[in-house]
A = this chain, B = another copy of it.
């Protein structure tokens, strides 16, 4: 009566591609471009390389319809993909390099594969990819995905020697709609460039327009390092695996070797709370004992917060540089907060404000250096700015020409969708975000106060400049003397400049 079946991960995301941001031709074009670009950037700055990325989108067949076939070509100078891993890395869902405790733009390890899958089901054209890891050899592949079995199908593979290039170049053909996505795509690149001032990016759009973003600094933020798990985030599954794979001789050394922020003293304290013998062999731990260790770790109050070396915030200087470069505002202020954590995952919140040229509050949200453009209303930042923070207290009304920027970086950004559109309101994240926003808004309101003061002074000075010479002239006429100089008087009216 009921029939059951198994489906592969590819099949699942083929059936539910909207979950990953591929809901219609307009959105799919946007998602494919961003996923490929973000993979490219990860392959560069994740390894300390200054990114040079070219993105070229072309119409392959002229068509009167808005929905038509586009070719997307993305080329980077990143570290390249080893040829033996390449087919799976791009042609298999749930296979990738992003499943580690280290900040990267990619999180779910499926953006590239989803782009290729969507291309394939709409145009039947294979992925074409060139990759060179810097060993003088470029590998070329033509790939499709066996969706039912979640396996790459290699249609062609050849290699040739090439000394002058390292990186990856990808070409896919998909049904897209640039008419309905061009605004979002261009906005995406502007926001991305603003937050990646150390990258050269060129986007050539299907209408032949070229958007070139030149790097203005030669400094890549220090790449993040992979770290061991923090004890606060442990669960039974994780501890069981650690026990199974560890070569430690005692439970004591297991804890010290497998977790960050656990030294000998801390480990002994935890094991005492858990009532487990520190000298026991890990393989002899019973489930009940593991549960007690976990409970001890969860309730222990004295751990240092998670090691932030797995994070790579952009930093005050680069954020301000990016905003200046792209927007050239009269005023800009940025900050990085100290590392914090939720459930054992470290995160850092950054925020900035800048004056804008057009009226209205514009919010730019970023997570792990990715601009987030969709579902703003579900994001924690929207909640804070609309329900928690009273903007009037900062003299900001809805017409204020202000840009508010937020960034969260984490080994695990609490996205609520695979499409990475918005950040959940985890209490710890909300608290940090609120403090960051309050601080930058305060700085902005100081700027406004100063601006108002200067304008008052300027007005005053204008009045003096207008009337003093006349008064001097008439006084001289009346007194039948020479007209006295008033320039000294006028200069003495000081106008403080905005630093």
Q: What is A's interface to B at a CB cutoff of 8 Å? A: 1-9, 11-12, 14-16, 18-19, 23, 47, 79, 81-82, 85, 88-89, 92, 94-97, 99-100, 108-109, 120-124, 133, 147-148, 235-237, 241, 287, 290-291, 375, 377-378, 414-419, 424, 426
- Quick one: closest B residue to A47, CB to CB? B1
Chain B hits for A15, CB < 8 A: 99
In the bound complex, how far is the Cα of B237 from the Cα of A3, in angstroms?
22
From B5, B109, B123, A95 is in contact (CB under 8 Å) with B5
Question: What are 25 A-B contacts defined by CB distance under 8 Å?
Answer: A1-B133, A2-B79, A2-B85, A3-B100, A4-B88, A4-B89, A4-B97, A6-B88, A6-B94, A7-B109, A8-B94, A12-B108, A14-B237, A18-B414, A19-B415, A19-B416, A19-B417, A23-B426, A121-B235, A122-B236, A124-B236, A124-B287, A375-B378, A377-B378, A378-B378
Chain B hits for A12, CB < 8 A: 9, 94, 108
In the bound complex, how far is the Cα of B123 from the Cα of A16, in angstroms?
31
Chain B hits for A18, CB < 8 A: 414, 416, 424
> Distance (Å) between the CB of A5 and the closest chain B CB?
6
Q: With A16-B108, A235-B122 in contact, is A97–B2 under 8 Å at CB?
A: yes
In the bound complex, how far is the Cα of B8 from the Cα of A274, in angstroms?
32
In the bound complex, how far is the Cα of B19 from the Cα of A419, in angstroms?
11
Q: With A414-B18, A416-B417, A417-B417 in contact, is A4–B96 under 8 Å at CB?
A: yes
In the bound complex, how far is the Cα of B23 from the Cα of A426, in angstroms?
9
- The oligomer's copy count stands at 2
Q: With A1-B79, A18-B414 in contact, is A95–B287 under 8 Å at CB?
A: no
In the bound complex, how far is the Cα of B12 from the Cα of A109, in angstroms?
10
Q: With A23-B424, A417-B417 in contact, is A85–B4 under 8 Å at CB?
A: yes
**Cβ-defined contact, A2 with B237, below 8 A:** no
- Quick one: closest B residue to A226, CB to CB? B3
**Cβ-defined contact, B95 with A6, below 8 A:** yes
Chain B hits for A14, CB < 8 A: 237
> Distance (Å) between the CB of A226 and the closest chain B CB?
9
In the bound complex, how far is the Cα of B1 from the Cα of A81, in angstroms?
10
In the bound complex, how far is the Cα of B6 from the Cα of A341, in angstroms?
27
Chain B hits for A377, CB < 8 A: 377-378
> Distance (Å) between the CB of A426 and the closest chain B CB?
8
> Distance (Å) between the CB of A177 and the closest chain B CB?
13
In the bound complex, how far is the Cα of B123 from the Cα of A236, in angstroms?
8
Chain B hits for A4, CB < 8 A: 85, 88-89, 95-97
- Quick one: closest B residue to A237, CB to CB? B121
- Quick one: closest B residue to A145, CB to CB? B237
In the bound complex, how far is the Cα of B4 from the Cα of A89, in angstroms?
8
In the bound complex, how far is the Cα of B238 from the Cα of A122, in angstroms?
11
In the bound complex, how far is the Cα of B291 from the Cα of A424, in angstroms?
41
User: Which of A5, A18, A79, A147 has the most CB atoms of chain B within a 10 A radius of its CB?
Assistant: A5
> Distance (Å) between the CB of A480 and the closest chain B CB?
73
> Distance (Å) between the CB of A32 and the closest chain B CB?
16
- Quick one: closest B residue to A416, CB to CB? B417
From B1, B6, B16, B124, A291 is in contact (CB under 8 Å) with B124
